[in-house]
DNA sequence: ATGGATGCAAAGCCTTTGCAAGCTT
DNA sequence: AAGCTTGCAAAGGCTTTGCATCCAT
């Protein structure tokens, strides 16, 4: 990893290593704050902006990309995994993934038709997850 | 429209009418600021927050929905039009639409499989539009 | 008269950046 | 030494809200 970063013009530091490790352990859909909390527990001296900047670095070297669900918080998602879409529960903010191999060809074709140079594809379904639907139903029952 | 709003618990006012009209004239992918600029030209007394709140109202009554491309600006998009995806140029911020009828069934099915109650579907391709690619090429030529 | 609507200013919230000091190579 | 990194604090930039006032019903 150290070598890999060097080829991209970045250096390795203890902080960076801890941040990278933590991010890849958490794996997916991590917000700056979540990662900061986790990292900060292990090393109280690491600042918020360092975490933030390193998340950007992870993106710059192509290991993750930003995900924006419109709830005001940017999340970071590993890109080494298979292409996938997101089911985003607006209540509990949970993110469920699903495979999008079936539709990717269509999207690629669409971009080509319009002479658009596509960098990334995003498919998101927002709504209510199974659990939150159940909760909602219980709440309604109580009201009657 | 006045009647329609009343059924939703909202009242009609001169400001609201101007804002609604302007929004529907602009039609698609409008940011608060863009709409404010347009509205403010016609009536200098209308404040930014009034425009903002009315955009929210338009969403609440189901006539538009928020679009978040991850550039820090929330845009509002009419929902009466056909379901569509977005090609978002990261350089000029232009939004090009494309039909997504072909893939919607797959997405609906995906949501059902996971017992997810889907409220909305979002498909976004980010990259560089034709024009900006041309500009980029010219710039590169000049450098050589 | 009511309760929603408006304007202004101020607060919120994340995201970014400026800087001086500290490390990596 | 040269340049990337880090921490802290402060600045940004857009979104929201508090409040007194106004207006539609």
Question: Residue B75 CA to nucleotide D21 C1', Å?
Answer: 30
Domain residues of chain B, as ranges? 1-79, 80-144
Question: Is residue A12 predicted with pLDDT exceeding 80?
Answer: yes
- pLDDT tens per residue across span A116-127: 999 889 999 999
User: What digits encode the pLDDT tens for the residues B23-77?
Assistant: 999 978 999 999 999 999 999 999 999 999 999 999 999 999 999 988 889 999 9
CA of B99 to C1' of C11 (A): 41
Task: Determine whether the interchain pair A98/B119 forms a contact, defined as Cβ–Cβ distance below 8 Å.
Answer: no
Closest-approach nucleotide to residue A50, Cα vs C1': D6
Name the residue among B72, B87, B83 with its Cα closest to residue A125: B83
Residue B108 has pLDDT above 90, yes or no: yes
pLDDT at B143: 58
Closest-CA distance of chain B to residue A72, Å: 9
Instruction: Look at residue B42 in the predicted model and tell me its pLDDT.
Output: 95
- The CATH number that domain A80-144 falls under is 3.30.1490.190
- What DSSP element (H or E) covers B106? helix B104-113
For chain B, say whether A83 makes contact (Cβ under 8 Å).
no
Count Cβ atoms within 10 A of the Cβ of residue B51 and give its class: 0-12 exposed, 13-18 middle, 19 or more buried. Answer: buried
- Helix B32-42 to helix B48-60 angle, to the nearest 10 degrees? 120
Is A57 exposed, middle or buried (CB count within 10 Å of its CB: 0-12, 13-18, 19+)? middle
* Residue A117 vs residues A100, B29, B80: alpha-carbon distances, Å: 20, 21, 29
Which of A54, A61, A11, A58 has its CA nearest to residue A36? A54
Quote the pLDDT of residue B81.
Answer: 73
Q: Residues B97-116, buried b or exposed e (16+ Cβ, 10 A)?
A: bbebeebeeebeebbeeeeb
pLDDT band, residue B98 (cuts 50/70/90): very high
β-strands B30-31, B74-78 pairing:
antiparallel
Asked if residue A139 has pLDDT above 90, the reply is no
Asked if pLDDT for residue A135 goes beyond 80, the answer is yes
Name the phi and psi angles at A52, rounded to 5: -60, -50
A114: three-class secondary structure by DSSP:
coil
CB distance from B70 to chain A under 8 Å? yes
User: Can you tell me the distance from the alpha carbon of A56 to that of A49, in angstroms, rounded to the nearest whole number?
Assistant: 10
Helix ranges restricted to H, A8-143: 14-26, 32-42, 48-60, 104-113, 130-143
| Residue tagged 């924006």 (tokens) | A68
Question: A50-99 pLDDT, tens per residue?
Answer: 999 999 999 999 999 999 888 889 999 998 678 899 999 988 888 999 99
Q: For residue A144, what pLDDT band results from cuts at 50, 70 and 90?
A: low
Fold (topology level) of B1-79: Arc Repressor Mutant, subunit A (1.10.10)
Helix, strand, coil distribution of chain B in percent, nearest 5: 45, 25, 30
Integer Cα distance of B88 and A110 in angstroms: 13
Find where tokens 């609440």 sit. B60
Is B144 a residue whose pLDDT tops 70?
Answer: no
pLDDT of residue B106: 93
Average pLDDT score over chain B? 91
Q: Which secondary-structure segment (H or E) carries B33?
A: helix B32-42
B125 forms beta bridges with: A121, B87
């Amino acid at each position: 990893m150290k070598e890999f970063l060097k080829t991209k013009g970045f250096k390795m530091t203890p902080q960076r290593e801890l941040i990278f490790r933590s991010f890849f352990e958490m794996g997916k859909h991590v917000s700056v704050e979540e990662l900061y909390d986790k990292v900060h527990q292990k090393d109280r001296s690491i600042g918020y902006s360092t975490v933030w900047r390193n998340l950007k670095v992870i993106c710059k070297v192509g290991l993750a990309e930003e995900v924006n669900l419109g709830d005001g918080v940017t999340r970071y998602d590993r890109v080494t995994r298979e292409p996938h879409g997101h089911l985003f529960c607006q209540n509990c903010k949970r993110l469920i993934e699903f495979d999008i191999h079936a539709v990717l060809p269509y999207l690629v074709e669409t971009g080509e038709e319009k002479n658009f140079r596509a960098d990334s594809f995003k498919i998101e379904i927002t709504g209510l997850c199974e659990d939150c639907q159940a909760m909602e139903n219980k709440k309604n029952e109580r009201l009657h």
